[in-house]
Amino acid sequence: MSNKVLMIGLDGATFTLFKPLSRMGALPFLTEFINNGTSGHLMSTLNPLTPPAWTSMTTGVVPERHGIYDFLRPTYLPDGGTYLKVNDRRINRAESVFEMVARQGMRSTALNFYGYTPAPKLDGYVVSGFVPWKHLRQGIHPPEFFDKLRASDTFDYRDLGMDIGEEKKVVQGLDADEHEEWIELQNVRDKAWTDLTCQLMEEDRTELTAVVLDGPDKIQHLFWRYVDPDCHAGDPGPETDRIRELCVDFYRRMDDNIRRMVETAGPDTNVFIVSDHGFGPTTEIFYVNQWLAEHGYLNWSESAVGDAKGQLTADKIRDHLGMIDWRRTKAFCPTPSSNAIYIRPDLGDGVGVSSDDYMDFALDLRKKLLDWKDPDTGTPVVVSADMNKMRGMSFAEPCPDITLHLRDGGFVSILNSEKCVVQRPLTEGTHRPEGIFIAGGPDFREEEVLDPLSLLDMTPMMLALLGLPVPTDLDGRVPEEALVSGFAHASGGTSSAPKGGGDTDEDVPEEDREALLRQMKKLGYID
């Protein structure tokens, strides 16, 4: 058994693109790695979104237990209003695999994962993702490692931060002559994380090394119609051909980043490559809060302005909950990325829904959502509506009451509009539950194609590969079908929750909150 593990996360990676890219020769290393190792789909969380998915992958428990459902969480104010707070590590109620490894006497490295700020104190290294570079220090452990990063002559440490030089831009605001700059920015960032990963493995190797490259997600949100062979990219011509060429080149460079990390790790390392979710096309916008308003669950304030473009401007991102009249609203969607409806509890003001009325109210709302048909097509828009609080398990608040899955697989819009459903002028990219799992190394089977695995299985698998006991209270399992015959692993004990887990983010600067909101828009989580 090898006691070295390398996990490479590719945010949003999907076989839907990898297969045609492999056929055209753009992924030479990854193609060989897939053919020689074991692979299969990796199923995401109920809402296939970065925060709950990566958190579940690195804790082995479902969002209802760790409490991270989205980038932001709604908080009810005494005056009846609602405010969005940033989710960070202090809200996470579950122990991460990196903390489990440290507790059992091994070292680990965690690079560019969402929700690792403030950085946990591990024996190893942490550089958190989704942190503006100006505040990167608070996402780094050990503290003195920040000065080493800043002094690096291999990469610019600012390239590890969120919003590098682009904080005031938005995806929908990019002009055609800015596309090349945007794509190159993702290449620079992913290379910086690759450089750092290789440097640490060469200079101070830890038993577990894990890194996320988030470039694929960013490229696919903005340029899906250019890279998916089945999508229409717009008007044919040199500009369209140029963007497609730049996107394919991004994947070639991604392939080389993977090659460098795997070769640096060495043949005695168990390597697996995963994504938090897959990707696919979205062709329409469902205005869920407008639907709730038309059905009497939500009321707009007088300041609400119709969304003529299907976009959410920066000032609306900041103040969009102010467009709701909270004294006359019982259900609402706080963020597009949540794809969730929250039912306001009765806070003693007679506005929300009482616990006695909750079940009937929620079931009736769910039925109306599923029964409602697009007036233009006569077909349902909501294909499923999961009742998160009625799944027979305890849950961490604030938990979404209903999670929606739309017919085109897209995210909802939270703005008001003249129509509840509007077709997009061009196809965009959005998340799908089918991510990727690709593995190779001394303890993985060769030339094996698996039935879909769950991302909840990744933490148990990492612990087993390191020869550590797997806690019995995790929601995932060790996927033995991916491992060589006769591979043995121990189980025992329980995972322990870290300190905190409370509803506090006093130390999150407002600047960080605004930067996160801008990044959500740039990543395509907000229309």
353 - beta bridge partners?
A: 345
Per DSSP, the residues of 12-65 read: T--HHHHHHHHHTTS-HHHHHHHHHSEEEEEE--SS--HHHHHHHHTTSS-HHH
Q: Max CA-CA distance within the chain?
A: 67
Burial label, 364 (beta-carbon count in 10 A; 0-12, 13-18, 19+) = exposed
CA distances from 466 to 36, 59, 101, 149, 250 (A): 22, 16, 9, 28, 33
- Interatomic CA distance for residues 182 and 173, integer angstroms: 12
**Pairwise CA distance, residues 65 & 440, whole Å:** 31
Collapsed DSSP state (helix, strand, coil) of residue 525: coil
* Cα-based distances in Å from 129 to 84, 139, 156, 169, 234: 20, 8, 15, 19, 33
Instruction: Provide CB contacts within 8 A for 505, sequence distance 6+.
Output: 85, 86, 88, 90, 91
> What DSSP state is assigned to residue 80?
S
The neighbouring-strand residues paired with 212 are 9
Provide the residue-wise pLDDT of the chain in tens; the chain has 527 residues: 568 999 999 999 999 999 999 999 999 999 999 999 999 999 999 999 999 999 999 999 999 999 999 999 999 887 778 888 989 999 999 999 999 999 999 999 999 999 999 999 999 999 999 888 888 999 999 999 999 999 999 999 999 997 644 433 333 445 667 789 889 999 999 999 999 999 999 999 999 999 999 999 999 998 999 999 888 777 778 888 999 999 999 999 999 999 999 999 999 999 999 999 999 999 999 999 999 999 999 999 876 655 444 444 434 444 567 789 988 999 999 999 999 999 999 888 778 899 999 999 999 999 999 999 999 999 999 999 999 887 777 899 999 999 999 999 999 999 989 999 999 988 899 999 999 999 999 999 999 999 999 999 999 999 999 999 999 999 999 999 999 999 988 888 788 765 555 555 455 555 666 666 666 665 555 55
CA atoms within 13 A on the CB side of 144: 1
SS (H, E, C) 328-370: HCCEECCCHHHCEEEECECCCCCCCECCCCHHHHHHHHHHHHH
Q: Check residue 307 and give its pLDDT.
A: 47
Angle, vertex CA 44, rays to CA 17 and CA 89, nearest 5 = 115
Query: What is the Cα–Cα distance from 411 to 217, expressed in whole angstroms?
Result: 15
- Specify the pLDDT at position 507: 53
Q: Which domains does the chain have, with CATH numbers?
A: 5-62+93-281+431-492 (3.40.720.10)
User: 148 exposed, middle or buried (CB, 10 Å; 0-12, 13-18, 19+)?
Assistant: middle
Relative to beta strand 278-287, strand 412-413 is parallel
- List Cβ neighbours of 482 (8 Å cut-off, separation of 6 or more): 38, 40, 437, 439, 444, 445, 448, 450, 453, 461
Q: Cβ(11)–Cβ(186) under 8 Å?
A: no
